[in-house]
């Protein structure tokens, strides 16, 4: 059976993902920057309210994946905090300046996180040699790799995803992410032989505010086109569409 992971931020999105039939969530903040570590309060409440698996991203900022000593110390604390709350897994990735996987730092984080499930995120897509990077992850013993096949979308990168899956075999789970939706999920599964999909934006809708008074004269953020009175959120309807699409697919 294909497993569906929903990438999201916010308690309401987490509840909607569960209601829509997701198998797991990746809990983040700042999705516009690719996802950063969520607050302790959000991790705690999501863990309390959800019965599906909760994985938490460990990423101290947006941008690249080559971190200073101070940033890495933050990541070490965040791993322990997530573990103490009782989440099912953490999602991480650290690179060296040359783009290769920083095995030493990744190993430190993994050792702190165990026995939680370990996913290496799309920092992988920034590496110069994907097969050498995969071998590094196999050596580190991570459970799962999230990748778009080093392309803009998983569909565009499906050939590499297929090759990575064939090389990894049963030693590591390949999860495709990047532009995954209900319309392309079946084709992606068939083309790659993978069993896990990661989606987010395709399951998001603009949810209007419940406020009856709305001040139209200002925007509090730095995006002039944004509105405080409509929030992008995961919806159960969109998640259900994706889940329904893949549940009818034959096992790869």
Residues 47, 119, 185, CA angle at the centre, nearest 5°?
90
Q: What are the counts of helices (DSSP H) followed by strands (DSSP E) for the chain?
A: 8, 10
Binned at pLDDT 50, 70 and 90, residue 252 comes out as: very low
**What's the domain count of the chain?**
1
Q: Is 72 helix (H, G, I), strand (E, B) or coil?
A: helix
Per-residue confidence (pLDDT) for residue 218, from 0 to 100: 79
Higher-pLDDT residue of 74 and 210 is: 74
User: Domain range spanning residue 45?
Assistant: 3-247
Per-residue confidence (pLDDT) for residue 138, from 0 to 100: 98
**Does 215 map to a domain?**
yes
Q: What is the pLDDT of residues 44-64, one digit of tens each?
A: 999 999 999 999 999 999 999
**Does 56 map to a domain?**
yes
Task: Tell me how far apart the 2 most distant CA atoms of the chain are, in Å.
Answer: 57
Higher-pLDDT residue of 60 and 220 is: 60
Q: What are phi and psi of 218, to 5 degrees?
A: -155, 160
Q: What is the pLDDT of residues 10-50, one digit of tens each?
A: 999 999 999 999 999 999 999 989 999 999 999 999 999 99
What is the chain's length? 252
Alpha-helical segments (H) within 141-172: 158-168
For 16, 166, 189, the CA distances from 236, given in Å and listed in that order, are: 5, 33, 22
What DSSP letter does each residue of 198-242 carry, written as one string?
EESGGGEEEEEP--S---TT--SSS-TT--TTEEEEE-HHHHHHH
Element (H, E) at 80: helix 69-85
β-partners of residue 198 are 5, 177
**Domain containing 141 — which CATH number?**
3.20.20.380
Kindly tell me if the per-residue pLDDT of 194 is higher than 50. yes
**Does 76 map to a domain?**
yes
% residues pLDDT > 90 (the chain): 87
Element (H, E) at 105: helix 103-113
Under 8 Å between Cβ of 225 and 217: no
User: Hey, what's the torsion of the CAs at 166, 167, 171, 172, to 10 degrees?
Assistant: -80
Higher-pLDDT residue of 220 and 69 is: 69
Q: What are phi and psi of 165, to 5 degrees?
A: -65, -40
**Does 252 map to a domain?**
no
Q: What are phi and psi of 27, to 5 degrees?
A: -90, 125
Q: Is 21 helix (H, G, I), strand (E, B) or coil?
A: coil
Under 8 Å between Cβ of 35 and 8: no
Q: What is the pLDDT of residues 135-189, one digit of tens each?
A: 999 999 999 999 999 999 999 999 999 999 999 999 999 999 999 999 999 999 9
């Amino acid at each position: 059976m294909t497993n569906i992971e929903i990438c999201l931020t916010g308690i309401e999105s987490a509840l909607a993902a569960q209601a829509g039939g997701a198998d797991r969530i990746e809990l983040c903040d700042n999705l516009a920057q690719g996802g950063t570590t969520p607050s302790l309060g959000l991790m705690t409440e999501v863990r309390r309210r959800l019965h599906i698996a909760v994985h938490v991203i460990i990423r101290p900022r947006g941008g690249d994946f080559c971190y200073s000593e101070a940033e890495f110390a933050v990541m070490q604390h965040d791993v322990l905090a997530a573990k103490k709350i009782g989440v099912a897994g953490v999602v991480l990735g650290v690179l060296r300046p040359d783009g290769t996987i920083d095995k030493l730092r990744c190993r430190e984080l993994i050792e702190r996180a165990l026995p939680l499930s370990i996913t290496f995120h799309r920092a992988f897509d920034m590496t110069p040699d994907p097969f050498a990077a995969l071998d590094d992850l196999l050596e580190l013993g991570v459970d799962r790799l999230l990748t778009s096949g080093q392309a803009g979308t998983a569909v565009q990168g499906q050939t590499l995803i297929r090759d990575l899956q064939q090389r990894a075999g049963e030693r590591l789970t390949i999860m495709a992410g990047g532009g995954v939706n209900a319309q392309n999920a079946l084709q992606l599964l068939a083309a790659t032989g993978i069993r896990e999909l990661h989606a987010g934006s395709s399951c998001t809708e603009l949810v209007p505010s419940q406020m009856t008074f709305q001040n139209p004269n200002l925007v509090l953020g730095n995006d002039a086109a944004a509105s405080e009175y409509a929030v992008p959120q995961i919806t159960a309807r969109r998640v259900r569409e994706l889940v329904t699409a893949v549940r009818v697919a034959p096992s790869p």
